[in-house]
Structure 1
């Protein structure tokens, strides 16, 4: 059980716009919390109808819930070590991708398919739920989605399950200050807080450290998950999953590196790396032999990826590649992949289960 909302002293700062603030940043917004580490406290900041609200509190409990203007976060004693990236077991698996700030549609799909309950709590038991990246950008409910996943990750652990949030290209872009795809709301947030948006996810924040702890891939039973996928040359380089993940993470945020990305680290962050690769969906992309080479190298039967949008969950290469970016980013429709032993289903926003054809398209 989570604790009731934490009572804190709140300081409200009125902000006056000047003529230099452009029209895009003049809409009324609410957002947060953004939580920074202080010397002995945590410092939380919200925006409530264009007013900045700040509070300080000690994080001396296993679980605390803080909230203001209906924007809540459940804070846990989170372990930010690199997670395990290979799992085997007899449990159900679910996977989605590319939420892009679409909170309403995402939660609708999750509730309809029994991943969460009506109160937005974990309901998937000992199941493993994978999100192959791109929570950020385009939509206007990114912060709400991040705190929801942060909470669900802890609840899944308590239930014997797992939530795996993988890094997508938009997570990496935001962490590196590439803010081209932000929803206008977040430009307003940046203006109101007088800080570059990516600094709200610095290594001195809870969400920033949490995101930096996330892997770029995970292997579960006979499937490997990543945002974009794996270029066939990765198999020829004879790189293990741990080598790929650790090298990618060692080169994550440019401004935090001692030197520029080079070699394999640079390769992983470029077009053919695991967050950008689209070769499974191009006419001149990976061949059947190259797909088989990857499957053999990683000892899996399926590559499960997002990044390249489809109208629904689809397959390629006789079902060896499963494409789970079902265009949730548009806010109109999306699906969740549901796997139970040898059963593969597409879950709809209404909870309908449609068999996934593991054949070439």
Structure 2
């Protein structure tokens, strides 16, 4: 009797599975595949009566006849004897080896010069007088960053450092959302050396999206960029310690003090303040965490209370209320500063809070303004340029073809991502 029940149960399960597959196939047959301009599958529009569900398919990493408009990458790997550069150009992966730190890479008419460093830039001590220009959350937008920097005199018309002994602070989240993240990273990498040679400095602080890239959390990576980089190397390994950019990023800080100003991406929570750690000690702990030190307690290095992810200066979140004046005053006293500057939480105005002591600068999507500290005091400049969210203006839509294996890979691949990224 038990055997009969089990057999009938298996038959029923099989029938239901077949009906389910047939039903899904029928639904998909009336669906639409959405591709980027470079033919990378971005999503699937599935009809549900009078509306439609947009099924996210970029995580499946599927492309049909790719034709990428601009160079993606390069990922440059340091080996014992040379540098291996890999980049995606149009419809193929290119590779070049060099024993020199100076070389040129090409993609069609695009020619890019690279000058690599054996060690990180050494910064001169801040003199307390030179201006400090601040920007955050650039999200792969090199064009905006260059316009922003030119408007303040940070770079010249050719994109070279022109700020003298001035300081540029990038308060995290250079990665994600935009398509040309590596273009921006390499530009900052080279600008940093130019600034140091002129007696100035570029300070690039890590944000939560840099941490996501290290841990393979790819929920905000633009579809075409993700697909192209993964042709070169697994996305998280593209910024591993054996790569030039990966080693460079892992050397960066999450907290910085210049004169009387403290900079960090998200903010300083009460939990971080209670750790009684100096800025230097905190940064060293974060570097050790990124290097895989298992003895490091990472509970306040990543997550909602960490300096890269705390949002309490802007508003309350699940688990904590909005910060109050006492927390801000205690933080100012502990780090012996007059001001705190953060990005991370998008604002519709570049303004201060907490009696003028905290500036939230992630406002470039809404106002054409920039914060500069002049002789240690904050000044808001109207610069006439604003950032825009990245949008592919030439996406392609076509019917879902149930006989097309790549269309099925785009749909089913989403379920396989957790296994593919283990």
- TM bucket (normalised to shorter chain) is 0.7 to 0.9
Kindly indicate whether the alpha-carbon contact (under 8 Å) linking 1:177 and 1:198 is maintained by their aligned counterparts in 2.
Answer: yes
- The aligned counterpart of 2:380 is 346
- The aligned counterpart of 1:257 is 292
Q: Does 1:278 align with 2:317?
A: no
The aligned runs of 1:1-361 (5 Å cut-off) are 22-23=62-63, 26=66, 28-29=68-69, 30-59=71-100, 64-69=102-107, 70=110, 72-80=112-120, 87-193=126-232, 195-252=233-290, 256-259=291-294, 261-262=296-297, 265-282=298-315, 284-328=321-365, 335-341=369-375, 343-350=377-384
Tell me by how many angstroms 1:68 deviates: 1.0
Aligned residues: 321
Taking structure 2 as the reference length, the TM-score comes to: 0.70
Tell me by how many angstroms 1:48 deviates: 1.4
Tell me by how many angstroms 1:191 deviates: 4.5
**Unmatched segments (≥5 aa) in structure 1:** 1-16, 353-361
Taking structure 1 as the reference length, the TM-score comes to: 0.82
- CA offsets 1:322-341 (integer angstroms, 9 cap, x no match): 1111144xxx8654311111
What's the secondary structure of 1:280's corresponding residue?
Answer: coil
Distance 1:345 1:333 in 2: 15
Kindly indicate whether the alpha-carbon contact (under 8 Å) linking 1:190 and 1:196 is maintained by their aligned counterparts in 2.
Answer: yes
Q: Judging changes above 3 Å, is the alpha-carbon distance between structure 1 residues 115 and 72 closer, same or farther for their aligned structure 2 residues?
A: same
- CA offsets 1:45-88 (integer angstroms, 9 cap, x no match): 1211122211111125xxx252312252432324248x779744
Kindly indicate whether the alpha-carbon contact (under 8 Å) linking 2:75 and 2:238 is maintained by their aligned counterparts in 1.
Answer: yes
Kindly indicate whether the alpha-carbon contact (under 8 Å) linking 1:217 and 1:225 is maintained by their aligned counterparts in 2.
Answer: yes
- CA offsets 1:208-240 (integer angstroms, 9 cap, x no match): 100011111110000000000111233333221
Distance 1:326 1:21 in 2: 32
Distance 1:207 1:113 in 2: 27
Kindly indicate whether the alpha-carbon contact (under 8 Å) linking 1:305 and 1:324 is maintained by their aligned counterparts in 2.
Answer: yes
Distance 1:79 1:268 in 2: 25
Kindly indicate whether the alpha-carbon contact (under 8 Å) linking 1:105 and 1:334 is maintained by their aligned counterparts in 2.
Answer: no
Distance 2:269 2:125 in 1: 20
What's the secondary structure of 1:279's corresponding residue?
Answer: coil
Q: Judging changes above 3 Å, is the alpha-carbon distance between structure 1 residues 325 and 153 closer, same or farther for their aligned structure 2 residues?
A: same
Tell me by how many angstroms 1:137 deviates: 0.2
**Unmatched segments (≥5 aa) in structure 2:** 1-39, 41-59, 387-422
Distance 2:268 2:99 in 1: 43
